[in-house]
Amino acid sequence: MITILRLGHRPARDKRVTTHVALTARAFGADRILVATRDPALERTVREVVRRFGGPFEIETGVAWRSVLRAWPGPKVHLTMYGLPLDELVAAIPREDLLVVVGAEKVPTEVFRLVDWNVAVGSQPHSEVAALAVFLDRLLGGQGLHREFRGRLMIRPSARGKDVVETGRSRDKV
């Protein structure tokens, strides 16, 4: 079980980026995202994707992030360009009950101390979406992308177009 903890989300400014973080978490093998700021619109957007394309994947917003981080029973990593290289750390990070902290622009300095590993996916400024995707891809040996989702919609790989199948696994309307 892998949980993402998203800090610093500002609903007006970050809605799209945090949606990308959540969908990337789901597609690359995480099971749940906790978002520090309450945002019902974000929850609806993510749950709608889960309803159509399948789960399990959960979202909860408005969580008390300090309490989550302090009380977390399993290993904790923080993705940051200031951390130690992913290549050096990835083999040591357990997958069980893992919490992955993903910040926005400014992350409180205490976060660096509250986690077990500060992991850098490159030491250049880029994107928490990119960092999360590559972190999960490397952590799960590329297997996160091959997880099966039992949704109402399934995309079949195609060389030149869009091949979307309705599986009939759910009775919800698309």
Q: Which of 87, 97, 166, 172 forms a contact with its own copies (CB under 8 A)?
A: 87
Cβ proximity to its own copies: between 64 and 165 the closer is 165
Q: What is the Cα–Cα distance from 50 to 48, expressed in whole angstroms?
A: 5
Interaction of residue 123 with its own copies, rule CB under 8 A: yes
Q: What is the Cα–Cα distance from 104 to 129, expressed in whole angstroms?
A: 10
How far, in Å, are 77, 88, 111, 174 from residue 106 at the CA level?
Answer: 17, 25, 11, 38
Query: Whole-number minimum distance, CB 4 to its own copies, in Å?
Result: 13
**Number of residues this chain uses to bind its own copies (CB under 8 A):** 53
Q: Which of 71, 73, 92, 125 forms a contact with its own copies (CB under 8 A)?
A: 125
Stretch that binds its own copies, among 35-43, 63-71, 134-142, 166-174 (CB under 8 A): 134-142
Cβ proximity to its own copies: between 64 and 134 the closer is 134
Query: Whole-number minimum distance, CB 3 to its own copies, in Å?
Result: 17
35, two tokens? 């978002």
* Peptide bond just before 56 cis, omega within 30 deg: yes
Q: Are strands 153-155 and 164-166 parallel, antiparallel or unpaired?
A: antiparallel
Interaction of residue 106 with its own copies, rule CB under 8 A: no
Interaction of residue 65 with its own copies, rule CB under 8 A: no
How far, in Å, are 29, 51, 72, 150, 171 from residue 54 at the CA level?
Answer: 13, 6, 27, 5, 12
2, two tokens? 């892998």
Return the residues of window 4-33 that contact its own copies according to CB under 8 A: 13-14, 16-17, 20-21, 23-24, 26-28
- 98 CB neighbour count, 10 Å cutoff: 21
Task: Name the residues that contact its own copies, by CB under 8 A.
Answer: 13-14, 16-17, 20-21, 23-24, 26-28, 49, 53, 81-85, 87, 109, 112-113, 117-118, 120-127, 129-134, 137, 142, 145, 149, 154-164
